[in-house]
Structure 1
């Protein structure tokens, strides 16, 4: 509702009147993005970097309070680097690679999510979502200053949406009254309660789990290391079924308690009740300040289709998963990464409109993978029968001394980038002995070069990577970058060559591998480019 109060952590785009509101005819935009959260801003930035104008409409003036998402994965940071926001995120964020699992008062095992060197980014950083969003908007402002075609409008609330064969028309409410605008395509990044989805009468189907979790962000100086600590059945009198501890910037710590289903939410959110839980959880005498508290319920849902003609859904508006595993915001950023290059090529006439159908194909595949992992995590956290609990606890007991049992322990499988292997845009794998982790469909694995890192040289366009060989000359209407590395570093050899002496890789603008060969003709490469852009 226009004029409603909203607690801001950062006021980044205050309302200002724009020419669209006074124009005698409706102003037209190639892309309008509904929602100025991380997914909307990332999508707009990616489009603008490619030269496609993007207008972002947000119903508020900036970033809201509350830490919300805090765990941002390596792949998300790699995408943020390409968008110009990765460095401040790493500088502000709390870096961690190690996780520990406890049962009762004893440690079961620990794990390292990034056991090898040679990556610019860590496995994860912890960073409060308001900071993450701010750094993306800072990058947007720099892009504006450089003349990139991007704009964000605060307190512009979309109140109506219609579409026909060649455009989408939006009705928009502002403090100065309503106006309308049209777009070739609209991207709805307006959250799990998406007003766009509701206005279009679209379903959001899935499963709501009978469980509740209390989030408590506390500011304190504590001796805990910067690791992810997870407890099954922590030894507390209030008997939560699980608990989680994470460090955030500014000496703020995230504590999660699993409360169960049949609870009095108002009573559990009372400050004295929250402090009772925290006081028992932390070392005796620890002083702390409550910063933010909330209760959430596990939900795993998604739309049947993410594309509806000229309206496309991304992030939580398209799919929702439980917070354990850090799959929500990280998955949404991968949506933006997947969609922007396809929409750019379609709008420039370099690819057919049908290429946008592959956005749903690939990102629905990613959503289903996340929902499966979230569902399994929830079932492991909350056994539904006594025999299930006996099995779960037996796995935890075995995992203490037997590594084979550790993969069966599920405290929230942590977010990993999605591979599109076997889907329609993926090309051939003709590199005998090539490493599995860089096979067609997989996201590129970073590696150090003599100067910098590999992903620095994959800037958002199709790239032909030649390792230890010469690439053939390829003539194609799309601009294809040639990157030749005559003497690959040991890390490059391990991650891209394996047993092969040399290799050619075709890489998409979102840094996913299209195809790879030990050698290839120009026709093979052209065929792979056409297939990856939905061409005949």
Structure 2
């Protein structure tokens, strides 16, 4: 059994700020050292933005919690320098199966095409991700990057004005004050920062409960996602099985709404459910258990003055679909470069509103998909159940009904259609790489496309001449020149050219497409770059 979550990784140490005569001011203070807060801190530090992370805890989360990490967040973690340990430790999977009663009604492949560095998903306990992120922070500190992680530091109060915020921070040695140009609340679904500011969620709480059981056992199940509707071992409900590293298996049991939570969490009752599913012959050890209720909610806005919200503090979705931690990492991916430009004086303060607009769009997309999944998994009327069961029956024989089966629409990257940061488009190119969309990886000379696009603006040219750099208002787009002369049928051509013979892409620091053309036009590129930085 893994004991990673029992080891203090960032114990309390007195900081110089606690002895200062007046509150010390920092450009960015991140509240919360979970995956979202740590990822944001790493992203900022890599761009030389000084950042302090405050967390009342001193170790990684207890229990596996988030376990499914999708391709796009893995690509984000690659940019942050944490992708390899994630994939090396994680359980890679692309296949899923759906069962109705005891019958498999269909299977699916989440990454049916080749030419990608990362798989569709890996399964990895959240405490490992947090450990890798803390280790990356330590590595950056050793390199002299401006990042500090303070355990045992709990935010007690927040006051703000138009120029920044003042925090009162509690420690084992008493409280102190510090100031920040920007505060980013990554402090989870119960977000004390949100409460201190008198803010709340709006949305739906679904009348159902699920039991999570992380079980350590030797089992011969394949490395796939298995989901059951109305299985013999949990009649009238559903169940889910996932494999994690260290022979840990995540098992979810739907319980219904009117339950005794304390009774359901008793070891003997969990054992009864596990034995009904696994049989009496399997030996197992229960590592962690919890009960959760489906919630699909978000804040009305993700910015309140100089305080910005990211991850679970800003939005919540039901776990089926793996849209929680994955969307939180996409929040930080969107936010870090915008804070960098604002702090450097290259974008106006109002540029932060584009984070709110784009990530509210992402949250609404996740909430819509998660709500639909929940309605299908837990029908609330007899008519809904009859319809759901008919779809499952038909899906075994008729391919046309399979898209209607919804055991959790799994996380996909968000495209910011309609964003005010988007520039011109070329309709001769593939839809999947239109403005607002994340760049799609592809093999290129020397490795992989996304590995050559760091945390800055790039001008990707494919068989087009252009200057090595384009610069406006102090912001530079560096050229990445590629050619398809000898490989016209490559993945790069399929994903970026379409019917065009050549291409020019302006790429944002978060690896989303800002604009694209089938030829180079310096004036058009400069105008698109100005648009992308909120100018």
Same fold (TM over 0.5): yes
Out of 173, 176, 192, which is 1:195 matched to?
Answer: 192
Q: CA RMSD, aligned part only?
A: 1.3
Q: Deviation of residue 219 (structure 1)?
A: 0.4
Asked whether 1:450 is paired with 2:445, we answer yes
Do the aligned partners of 2:327 and 2:363 also contact (CA within 8 Å) in 1?
Answer: yes
- Bigger drift between 469-478 and 47-56 goes to 469-478
Asked whether 1:515 is paired with 2:510, we answer no
Question: 2:180 aligns to what SS in structure 1?
Answer: strand
Q: Deviation of residue 474 (structure 1)?
A: 3.0
Partner of 2:239: 243
Q: Deviation of residue 466 (structure 1)?
A: 0.2
Out of 289, 294, 311, which is 1:293 matched to?
Answer: 289
Partner of 1:4: none
Do the aligned partners of 1:463 and 1:483 also contact (CA within 8 Å) in 2?
Answer: yes
Do the aligned partners of 1:36 and 1:58 also contact (CA within 8 Å) in 2?
Answer: yes
Q: Deviation of residue 486 (structure 1)?
A: 1.9
Q: Deviation of residue 57 (structure 1)?
A: 0.3
Moved over 4 A (4+): none
Out of 207, 211, 215, which is 1:214 matched to?
Answer: 211
The C-alpha deviation readout for 1:412-441, integer Å capped at 9, x for no partner, is: 1000010001121111112x4211111111
The C-alpha deviation readout for 1:229-276, integer Å capped at 9, x for no partner, is: 00011112x525100000000000000000100111111111111111
Out of 170, 176, 180, which is 1:179 matched to?
Answer: 176
Question: 1:474 aligns to what SS in structure 2?
Answer: strand
Asked whether 1:323 is paired with 2:319, we answer yes
1:363-512 residue pairs with structure 2 within 5 A?
A: 363-430=359-426, 432-472=427-467, 474-476=470-472, 477-487=474-484, 489=487, 490-512=490-512
Question: 2:254 aligns to what SS in structure 1?
Answer: strand
In the alignment, the residues of structure 2 paired with residue 292 and residue 461 of structure 1 have an alpha-carbon distance, to the nearest angstrom, of 41
- Bigger drift between 514-523 and 410-419 goes to 514-523
1:43-82 residue pairs with structure 2 within 5 A?
A: 43-82=40-79
Do the aligned partners of 2:5 and 2:63 also contact (CA within 8 Å) in 1?
Answer: no
In the alignment, the residues of structure 2 paired with residue 240 and residue 395 of structure 1 have an alpha-carbon distance, to the nearest angstrom, of 16
Q: Deviation of residue 117 (structure 1)?
A: 1.4
| TM-score, length of structure 2 as denominator length | 0.97
Q: Deviation of residue 283 (structure 1)?
A: 4.3
Question: 2:60 aligns to what SS in structure 1?
Answer: strand
Asked whether 1:35 is paired with 2:12, we answer no
In the alignment, the residues of structure 2 paired with residue 486 and residue 162 of structure 1 have an alpha-carbon distance, to the nearest angstrom, of 54
Asked whether 1:271 is paired with 2:261, we answer no
In the alignment, the residues of structure 2 paired with residue 221 and residue 210 of structure 1 have an alpha-carbon distance, to the nearest angstrom, of 34
Question: 2:112 aligns to what SS in structure 1?
Answer: coil
| TM-score, length of structure 1 as denominator length | 0.97
Partner of 1:354: 350
Q: Deviation of residue 394 (structure 1)?
A: 1.3
- Bigger drift between 306-315 and 278-287 goes to 278-287
Cα distance, 1:495–1:179 mapped onto 2, change above 3 Å: same
Q: Deviation of residue 164 (structure 1)?
A: 1.1
Query: Unaligned stretches of 5+ in structure 1?
Result: 1-6
Question: 1:256 aligns to what SS in structure 2?
Answer: strand
Question: 1:429 aligns to what SS in structure 2?
Answer: coil
The C-alpha deviation readout for 1:331-385, integer Å capped at 9, x for no partner, is: 0000000000000000001111111001000000000111111110111011122
Asked whether 1:302 is paired with 2:292, we answer no
The C-alpha deviation readout for 1:448-507, integer Å capped at 9, x for no partner, is: 112210001110100000012212563322121100002375010111111211100001
The C-alpha deviation readout for 1:167-193, integer Å capped at 9, x for no partner, is: 200000111111100010000000100
Q: Deviation of residue 142 (structure 1)?
A: 0.7
In the alignment, the residues of structure 2 paired with residue 181 and residue 510 of structure 1 have an alpha-carbon distance, to the nearest angstrom, of 30
The C-alpha deviation readout for 1:300-337, integer Å capped at 9, x for no partner, is: 11101100110000000000010110000000000000
Partner of 1:532: 532
Question: 1:531 aligns to what SS in structure 2?
Answer: helix
Paired residues, what number?
528
Do the aligned partners of 2:464 and 2:520 also contact (CA within 8 Å) in 1?
Answer: no
Do the aligned partners of 1:240 and 1:258 also contact (CA within 8 Å) in 2?
Answer: no
The C-alpha deviation readout for 1:67-108, integer Å capped at 9, x for no partner, is: 100001111110001101110000100000000000000001
Question: 2:132 aligns to what SS in structure 1?
Answer: helix
Do the aligned partners of 1:10 and 1:130 also contact (CA within 8 Å) in 2?
Answer: no
Q: Deviation of residue 405 (structure 1)?
A: 1.1
The C-alpha deviation readout for 1:6-33, integer Å capped at 9, x for no partner, is: x943321111111101111211100000
Partner of 2:119: 122
In the alignment, the residues of structure 2 paired with residue 465 and residue 249 of structure 1 have an alpha-carbon distance, to the nearest angstrom, of 38
In the alignment, the residues of structure 2 paired with residue 282 and residue 449 of structure 1 have an alpha-carbon distance, to the nearest angstrom, of 46
Do the aligned partners of 1:102 and 1:230 also contact (CA within 8 Å) in 2?
Answer: yes
In the alignment, the residues of structure 2 paired with residue 211 and residue 10 of structure 1 have an alpha-carbon distance, to the nearest angstrom, of 34
Do the aligned partners of 2:338 and 2:351 also contact (CA within 8 Å) in 1?
Answer: yes
